[in-house]
Amino acid sequence: MNRILLGAIASAVVLITPALACETITSAKVKLSACVDATGWATQTPSGDQEFLYYSSDETIGFAVINENGAWPVSQFREAILSNAAAAALDAKPENVSIVSERLENIGGKAWNVIEYQVQIPDGSLLFQNFYYVQPGFGSSQFVYWSAPEGGTSAAFRAGQMLATVQFTE
């Protein structure tokens, strides 16, 4: 009986401890917050439309949070994402952006679109995993993760950890 109790306590400590390293980020533009594991991500200075920017401690994965007050049709938003990717691609050519997959994910109790795409850049290529939500009355939010293609599984795992903490605030 004591072993079961000790096992349960150990499991609870393992599951609760990561939450203690949480740094809550709250958007100033939309009603959304999330938890960033302060031990695994280093804060960077955001630029352009980025509200938050982080790199993994080993600098192999990055992510940005882009929030805007305005909302557009989802298809238009998707096209804007791909246009921005093409602008950053090698020679700014759309053919240097290839879509890997698209799906819907439940994040914070809402259906988010996800588009994974690979962008050719002068030094090789980057894999992007863009989780985006657009809704009239809310605005839009993107959590964009990137890594070298071989780091895609690790980036997806880390994205999942963080996106599980997303909350829509009132």
Of all helices (H) and strands (E), which one includes residue 160?
A: helix 152-163
Mean pLDDT of the chain: 90
Is the distance from CB of 33 to CB of 167 less than 8 angstroms? yes
Q: Is the pLDDT assigned to residue 18 strictly greater than 70?
A: no
One CATH from 3.40.1000.10, 1.10.3720.10, 3.90.180.10, 3.40.1190.20 for 21-168: 3.40.1000.10
Q: Is the pLDDT assigned to residue 16 strictly greater than 60?
A: no
Query: Given the structure tokens 């921005």, which residue do they identify?
Result: 84
- The whole-angstrom distance between residue 119's C-alpha and the CA centroid of its chain comes to 17
Determine how many CB atoms are found less than 10 A away from the CB of residue 62. 19
Query: Given the structure tokens 């072993």, which residue do they identify?
Result: 3
pTM above 0.95, yes or no: no
Q: What percent of the chain has pLDDT over 90?
A: 80
pLDDT in tens, 126-156: 999 999 999 999 999 999 999 999 999 999 9
Looking at 8-17, 57-66, 74-83, 102-111, which range is the least confident one?
8-17
What was the pLDDT predicted at 11?
A: 43
What was the pLDDT predicted at 4?
A: 46
pLDDT in tens, 66-105: 999 998 999 999 999 999 999 988 888 889 999 999 999 9
Q: 168, exposed or middle or buried, with CB in 10 Å at 0-12, 13-18, 19+?
A: middle
What was the pLDDT predicted at 17?
A: 45
> How do the domains of the chain map onto residue ranges?
21-168
